[in-house]
């Protein structure tokens, strides 16, 4: 009879656990050298049961056949019978038992003595659209890249509502004979629209228009109730929130009221020679009446700031994201500069800090084995350990500490094997085909039960995997460990529509230009994202993984996501251009961005150091975007000082060290003032769990040696970076992940030839130079 140990040893071929008596065997599904499962383990002698991904039953059959689009602004529709508020500024919506609510949010501000403050534009119903039957539920019936259609069936009848981000219009179709608009207050009635079946009215100061089909009829039942009769075969109408009731405005909106938006698609192109990302936004419409095909839409600040968009109007709406400006178009394009990143930086000379790096590195390598999962053993905290080790590995490599670098490489690979092999009863991945996702166990922060934070968690893993692939390309082969990494990539960054396996760009919102963290969005405030910097970390990982594995399509997707998210972070988290934050907010940044608000707060503390620091970490070579505005960096610290004093005066404390994350703050300050950063940093002070003393010192001294990031110079290769000292010495970096020498040209005239699998460096005083 075999022993228990032999049974466990033999389980790796098919089972990863000893199932409890009567439990169903959970077969391992091979992927290269690794393996995953179709469901979490049920629990047994040596393992605990894991939670399952949530069901998303509130979908039409067509949507049930596709992966569930979690982590979007409308995702709550799938997880509850009705929905939470859906914020598609300038208008918000909510499916409720009585019908479909429509409103234009307005601003309110909430504060507390400890420094907490939030600017909220909550949903409220100016009007509720009620079909002539009782809806049974709200179902996700379809979606574009920034539009959604919700079905509210009942008693054998249909009612469909389509909302579009940025648009003042919403579109409706029903097979009923009439619909009723219940108003939140007595309406001020205006003139009708040139004989069409429609009406213009104002509720609580907000003007609205309803546009019915030809042959329809509007009847005011009371001052708070409007009925729209629909002729047979013409069960359609639209509703618009108007910016005003001027005659020209009414004529303009009437010209576009029957161009119903049926789909929205984003397309991107990375222009390598110009180092730019061109993004196309396209609306597909159905002309319901009068041959109208061009919709009237609205652009948020991340889409119009710094752009030349023909026909863009100054007319628009205030919103939590700033000014929404109107545009009559089926298509528009934006262009953003991609400012380059490299996977690692060059060595520090012995007399420029290299000797101390060597001294610090030995201690940090020795402590690294205990730095994995410092607070938990799930995919987030193990991921942070992978990120920390990968940064140390690169420093050891460039500094010539090959033994330390190799030890760190093997340590990273060992942790990948622990989760990827499919032979560990407690650390493994599941590909859930019912929802369409890859989830890791143990779960953390609702990563499975609520589908939260996948881009945060997996970003660390993908970036660390990319660093391994740059050193050991064979490790990343599909028949080795690459197939398992791809499961994480596909979960957060599938660029195909309509698949059953994974949704299109799970976490990313193409219209607002940033990511969302909540999987089910089951909150009255809509979806949210706190740590914008961890989102950037994920997209940097895609760039490096794509470059290291020769996957140009994935690399270019990563460049689009990285460039677009950074642009929106500057807009909505830092307000660098002063077009978003309310004057009364008086905080230097938004630590959290929700569907309807931004706030100076975190999920776990009100300590200003953590409130502000969560949008900095992890500091890696892909974090140079944080140094775009040196004046803002200094104001960041002024704000933190003021808010910390207020926090202390309120008698608040979360029990953390008074210098918590001092290493992260010193590294951030080094992007603007390296000398002050070195004075700030305390080698014996607090170190953030994803960071190390070696990395902090190496980072600051590198900034002293190379100077601030220079975003005015670009290169014709994806992996590059440029820095400039106050004395005018320009450092050009370019990485070549390929097997052949690479010629790189910079826009200031510098050029260099980079050897295969190497980092090239060129320094010049005047902007021209050659490789060193």
Active site residues: 453, 530, 534
Structure tokens at 282: 């396209």
CB 194 within 8 A of CB 254: yes
**Helix count and strand count (H, E) for the chain:** 16, 38
Q: Write out 366-394 in H/E/C secondary structure.
A: HHHCCCCCCCCCCHHHHHHHHHHHHHHHH
Other CB atoms within 10 Å distance of the CB of residue 651: 8
Please list the residues that pair with 245 across neighbouring strands: none
The DSSP secondary structure of 438-491, one letter per residue, reads: EEEES--TTTTTS---HHHHHHHHHHHHHHHHHH-GGGGSIIIIIHHHHHHHHH
Closest Cα partner for 664 from 644, 643, 689? 689
Structure tokens at 614: 């969560």
Spatial neighbors of 405 by CB under 8 A, at least 6 apart, are 393, 394, 396, 397
Residue 13 burial (10 A CB sphere; 0-12, 13-18, 19+): exposed
Other CB atoms within 10 Å distance of the CB of residue 657: 11
Checking DSSP bridges between strand 34-36 and strand 236-241, what pairing results, if any?
unpaired
Closest Cα partner for 484 from 562, 565, 427? 427
CA separation, residue 249 to residues 211, 245, 296, 612 (Å): 14, 6, 12, 42
| 3-class DSSP state of 500 | coil
CB 176 within 8 A of CB 230: yes
CA separation, residue 473 to residues 171, 436, 465, 479, 541 (Å): 51, 29, 10, 12, 15
Number of residues that this document lists for the chain: 772
Give the span between the Cα atoms of 545 and 40, in whole angstroms. 28
CA separation, residue 579 to residues 193, 306, 537, 770 (Å): 35, 12, 26, 42
Closest Cα partner for 175 from 192, 160, 158? 158
| 3-class DSSP state of 358 | helix
CA separation, residue 445 to residues 76, 408, 454, 745 (Å): 18, 28, 10, 45
Structure tokens at 272: 């390598």
Other CB atoms within 10 Å distance of the CB of residue 171: 27
Checking DSSP bridges between strand 597-600 and strand 117-120, what pairing results, if any?
antiparallel
Closest Cα partner for 298 from 234, 364, 350, 253? 253
Structure tokens at 115: 């420094």
Closest Cα partner for 771 from 742, 738, 737, 740? 742
Give the span between the Cα atoms of 264 and 330, in whole angstroms. 9
Give the span between the Cα atoms of 237 and 221, in whole angstroms. 19
CB 677 within 8 A of CB 666: yes
Give the span between the Cα atoms of 331 and 679, in whole angstroms. 51
Consecutive H or E run containing 332: strand 331-337
- The residue to which tokens 């500069």 are assigned: 337
Give the span between the Cα atoms of 10 and 131, in whole angstroms. 62
Closest Cα partner for 503 from 57, 68, 74, 71? 68
């Amino acid at each position: 009879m075999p022993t228990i140990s032999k049974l466990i040893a033999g389980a790796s071929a098919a089972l990863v656990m000893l199932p409890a008596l009567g439990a169903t065997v959970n077969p391992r599904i091979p992927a290269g050298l690794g393996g995953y499962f179709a469901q979490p383990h049920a629990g047994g002698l040596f393992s605990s049961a894991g939670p399952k991904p949530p069901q998303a039953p509130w979908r039409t059959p067509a949507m049930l056949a596709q992966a569930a689009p979690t982590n979007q602004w409308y995702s709550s529709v799938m997880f509850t019978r009705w929905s939470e508020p859906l914020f598609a500024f300038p208008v918000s919506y909510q499916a409720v038992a009585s019908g479909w609510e429509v409103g234009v949010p307005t601003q309110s501000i909430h504060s507390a003595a400890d420094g907490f403050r939030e600017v909220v534009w909550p949903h409220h119903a100016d009007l509720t659209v009620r079909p002539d039957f009782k809806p049974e539920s709200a179902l996700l019936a379809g979606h574009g890249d920034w539009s959604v259609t919700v079905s509210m069936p009942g008693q054998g009848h249909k009612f469909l509502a389509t909302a579009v981000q940025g648009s003042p219009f919403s579109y409706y179709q029903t097979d009923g004979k009439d619909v009723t608009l219940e108003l939140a207050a007595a309406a001020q009635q205006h003139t009708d629209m040139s004989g069409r079946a429609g009406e213009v009215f104002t509720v609580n100061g907000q003007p609205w228009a309803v546009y019915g089909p030809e042959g329809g009829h509007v009847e005011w039942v009371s001052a708070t109730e409007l009925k729209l009769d629909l002729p047979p075969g013409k069960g359609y109408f639209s509703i618009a929130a108007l910016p005003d009731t001027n005659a020209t405005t009414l004529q303009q909106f009437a010209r576009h009221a029957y161009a119903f938006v049926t789909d929205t698609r984003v397309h991107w192109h990375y222009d390598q020679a110009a180092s730019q990302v061109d993004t196309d936004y396209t609306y597909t419409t159905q002309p319901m009446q009068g041959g109208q095909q061009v919709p009237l839409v609205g652009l948020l600040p991340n889409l119009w700031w710094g752009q030349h968009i023909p026909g863009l109007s100054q007319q628009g709406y205030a919103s939590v994201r700033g000014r929404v400006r109107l545009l009559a178009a089926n298509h528009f394009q934006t262009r953003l500069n991609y400012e380059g990143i490299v996977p690692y930086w060059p060595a520090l000379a012995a007399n420029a800090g290299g000797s101390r790096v060597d001294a610090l590195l030995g201690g940090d390598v020795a402590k690294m084995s205990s730095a994995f999962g410092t607070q938990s053993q799930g995919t987030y905290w193990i991921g942070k350990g992978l990120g920390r080790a990968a940064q140390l590995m690169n420093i050891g490599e460039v500094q010539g500490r090959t033994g330390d670098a190799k030890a760190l490489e093997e340590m990273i690979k060992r942790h990948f094997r622990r989760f990827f092999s499919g032979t560990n009863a407690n650390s493994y991945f599941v590909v859930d085909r019912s929802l369409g996702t890859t989830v890791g166990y143990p779960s953390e922060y609702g990563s499975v039960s609520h589908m939260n934070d996948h881009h945060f968690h997996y970003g660390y893993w993908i970036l660390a995997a990319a660093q391994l692939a740059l050193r050991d390309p064979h490790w990343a082969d599909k028949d080795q460990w690459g197939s398992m990494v791809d499961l994480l990539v596909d979960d957060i960054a599938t660029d195909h529509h309509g698949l059953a396996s994974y949704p299109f760009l799970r976490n990313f919102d193409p219209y607002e230009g940033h990511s969302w963290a909540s999987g089910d969005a089951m909150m009255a405030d809509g979806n949210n994202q706190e740590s914008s910097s961890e989102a950037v970390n994920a997209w940097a990982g895609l760039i490096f993984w794509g470059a290291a594995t020769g996957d140009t399509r994935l690399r270019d997707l990563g460049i689009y996501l990285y460039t677009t998210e950074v642009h929106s972070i500057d807009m909505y988290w830092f307000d660098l251009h002063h077009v978003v934050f309310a004057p009364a907010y008086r905080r230097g940044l938004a630590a959290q961005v929700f569907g309807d608000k931004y706030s100076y707060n975190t999920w776990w503390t009100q300590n200003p150091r953590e409130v502000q620091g969560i949008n900095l970490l992890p500091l890696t070579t892909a974090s140079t975007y944080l140094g775009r505005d040196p004046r803002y960096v200094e104001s960041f610290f002024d704000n933190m000082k003021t808010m910390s004093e207020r926090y202390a005066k309120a008698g608040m404390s979360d029990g953390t060290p008074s210098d918590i994350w001092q290493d992260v703050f010193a590294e951030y300050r080094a992007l603007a003032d390296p000398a002050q950063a070195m004075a700030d940093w305390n080698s014996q002070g607090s170190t953030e769990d994803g960071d190390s003393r070696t990395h902090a010192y190496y980072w600051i001294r590198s900034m002293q040696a190379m100077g601030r990031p220079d975003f005015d110079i670009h290169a014709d290769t994806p992996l590059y970076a440029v820095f400039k000292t106050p004395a005018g010495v320009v450092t050009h970096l370019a990485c070549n992940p390929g097997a052949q020498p690479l010629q790189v040209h910079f826009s200031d005239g510098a050029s260099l030839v980079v050897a295969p699998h190497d980092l090239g460096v060129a320094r010049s005083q005047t902007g021209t130079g050659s490789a060193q």
